[in-house]
Structure 1
Amino acid sequence: MPPSDLSAPMLDHADLDLESARRISYRIEQRFRYTYDTPVTALSQRLIIVPRPRHGDLYRRAHSLEVTGARARRRTRQDPCGNTVVRVTAAHVEHEVEFRVVALLERVRGDLLALPATALRDPALRTPTALTGPDDRLRQLAADLARAGGEPAEIAERICTGVYTAMSYGFGVTSVLTTAAQALAGGVGVCQDYAHIMIALCRLAGLPARYVSGHLLGQGGTHAWVEVIVPQGGAAAALAWDPCHGRRTHSGYVTVAVGRDYTDVAPTSGSYVGAPSGRLTGDRRVGVISLDLPAA
C-alpha cells in the first residue's frame, strides 16, 4: 500500500461486503485543535492517535502526523502495551495548536490476535483500576452473570449482553472521570462507560480484559470496546466485544490502542502554563479505500 493512498477516496462501506473480503484497506483522518484566549507556554501534549503498528489482522501501512499553529518538537515511542505514543512540546502557543493524523491500515483476513500464555495471568489485565474498581452492585452482577459457568468466551458473551441490557446510551451525562460503578448506578453513559463496566465485570469473574480505543465505521467519534483474553491452545487470544452495541466486533472496527482503561489510551492529554481557557474541538473521517473479494 503506497503512501500515495493517504489521499485515496473513501468508499461507501454500507454497500460493501466487508466480512467476505480477504483484505480491506482503511484510511483514518483525525484532527484535534486546542484554542486559547491568551498565549500559553510550556505546552506538553501526549497523543495516542496513530494506530498501533500491528493489532492481530490489522496492519498500519503508512501514516503522517502534522502539528500546526506552533513551533513544536515531537518524540515517538511505543508504550509497554505496544501503542504508538507521540509526545509534543512547544515553548509558546500564540492562539491555537492543531494535531492532524492520517493513517492507512490494512486488514489481512486470517491473521489472529494471538498472545503469549502469560497474558492470562497479567496483573494489569486482572487488577481493578481507578475507573474500573468494583462496588457491591458490580460484584453482585458479576456473580449473577458468571453463575451459569461455561467457557471463558461464553461468560464474556453473557457479560457483554448484561452490560448492554443494564445501560442506556446517553451523551453528556458522564465524563472521562466517571467510574464503572458510577455509570452502572446511573444506568446511562457512552461507549467508554460501557467498556469500563464490562472490564470491571470480567475481572470480577476471573477473566483478564482490556480497554480498546479505536473507530467504528459510520460512527461520528472515537469508539471504545473490550478485549477479553482467553486460552488458545498453549497460548492465549484476545476476543473483542462491543458492549455498547451488545455484540462481537467485526470488520467495521479499527483499533488504535489498548490499555487497562481509558486513562491509558486517551487520544489527547497534556498540560500548559497559562489561563484556564483552552477549548478542544475535533473531527474525524474513517472509511474503506479498497478491498479484495474472493473471485465469484
Structure 2
Amino acid sequence: MKTLSFSFSTKLTFDDYVHDHSFALRIIPPNTEAQKIISCGLDISPAVATKQTVDAFGNNVTAGYIQGDHRFLDFEIKGTAEVDSTKHSTFLMPCYLYQSEYTAPDEELRDFYTELKDKNISDVSDRAAFFSDILSDIIEYKKGVTTTATTAAEAFAMKTGVCQDFSHILISLLRMGGIHARYVAGLAFCDGETHSWVEYWTGNQWEGIDPANNCPVNDDYLVISTGRDFRDCAIDRGVMFGRYTQQLQLVRSVLT
C-alpha cells in the first residue's frame, strides 16, 4: 500500500466568448477496493454552482452551468489517496465484453488477432501480458500523430499512438478473445498528463495492465474513471453557444 499525493489541472481557453455553457467533469477519483480517497478538493473558475452525481460506470461526475459570457473554464483537483494494488474489484458489467465505438476492429486488426489466437496461452493474465508484449514491439509511442477521436483500428493501421491508442487496441484484442476488458483513465508515474491503461476480467476479479509502458499496474496508479473506452472516461464534456472556432487546452498533473 502507498499513500499518494495528487493534483490535476486543466485550463480551457476559447478564442471568443461563449455562453449557456453546460459541462460535465469526470475528475474526482472514486473510492474503490484498491484506492481510498483521503482528501480531494475541486476548484472551478469561473465560480459556479455544481451538482455531484455518479454515472452508470461508477464514475464521479461534476455537472455545472455557466450562463454568462466567458472565454475560459479552469478546474483543478488536489488530494491524497491510499492505493493498494493487491486489492481488486469484483463487480462485473456485461457491456465490457462487447466492442465499442473506439475498440471495434477492422479486417486488419481481426487478421492480426487470428494470427495470435492459436498461441497456447490459456491463462487470462498471461494472455493479456502476451498481447501487451506484442504491441510494445510493433506500435511506436509517439505524440501528435493520433487524436482523442482515433480508434483502435486507425491507430493499429498507423502503428503509432499514445496511451489511449495502446489501451484501445489491447481492449479490442481481449474482447475478440471473449475476455471482458475496460478502459481506465487516471494518473500514473508518467507525470504531466493524464494516463490510460486497461483492466481485464480474470474470471473472479479485475486486474490492471499498462500496455503503453508494457507493465502491470501497481500502487503508482490512481484511477479517475473507468468505462468501455475513452468516450466514457473523457475528463470534460460540454455544450455551449458562441462564435468561438477552437479551444486551447493546457493540462498538468502530478502524482507523488
TM-score (norm. length: structure 1): 0.81
**1:144 alignment partner, one of 115, 130, 139:** 115
Size of the aligned set, in residue pairs, is 255
Task: Report what 2:181 is aligned to.
Answer: 209
Deviation at 1:87, TM superposition (A): 1.0
> Structure 2: how far apart are the matches of 1:42 and 1:109?
42
- The one-character-per-residue Cα deviations of 1:203-228 (angstroms, maximum 9, x if unpaired) are 00111100010111243211111000
Task: Report what 1:195 is aligned to.
Answer: 167
Relative distance call for 1:168 and 1:224 in structure 2 (3 A) is same
**Runs (5+) with no aligned partner, structure 2:** none
Contact 1:129 1:261 (8 Å CA) reproduced: yes
Q: Secondary structure of 2:171's partner? A: helix
Task: Report what 1:58 is aligned to.
Answer: 35
Contact 2:50 2:65 (8 Å CA) reproduced: yes
Identical amino acids, percent of aligned pairs: 26
RMSD: 1.7
Q: Secondary structure of 1:125's partner? A: helix
Task: Report what 2:210 is aligned to.
Answer: 242
**Runs (5+) with no aligned partner, structure 1:** 1-22, 289-296
Q: Is 2:139 the partner of 1:162? A: no
Deviation at 1:109, TM superposition (A): 6.4
Q: Secondary structure of 1:92's partner? A: coil
Task: Report what 2:148 is aligned to.
Answer: 176
- The one-character-per-residue Cα deviations of 1:67-101 (angstroms, maximum 9, x if unpaired) are 122x4221111112111111121101333221111
- The one-character-per-residue Cα deviations of 1:229-287 (angstroms, maximum 9, x if unpaired) are 112xxxx2111111111121222222111100000001112121001244233333323
> Structure 1: how far apart are the matches of 2:85 and 2:148?
34
> Structure 1: how far apart are the matches of 2:166 and 2:29?
22
> Structure 1: how far apart are the matches of 2:7 and 2:19?
28
Task: Report what 1:7 is aligned to.
Answer: none
Task: Report what 1:85 is aligned to.
Answer: 61
- The one-character-per-residue Cα deviations of 1:39-60 (angstroms, maximum 9, x if unpaired) are 2111111111111122x32111
Moved more, 152-161 or 92-101: 92-101
Q: Is 2:221 the partner of 1:253? A: yes
Moved more, 164-173 or 94-103: 94-103
**1:220 alignment partner, one of 192, 202, 208:** 192
Q: Is 2:44 the partner of 1:67? A: yes
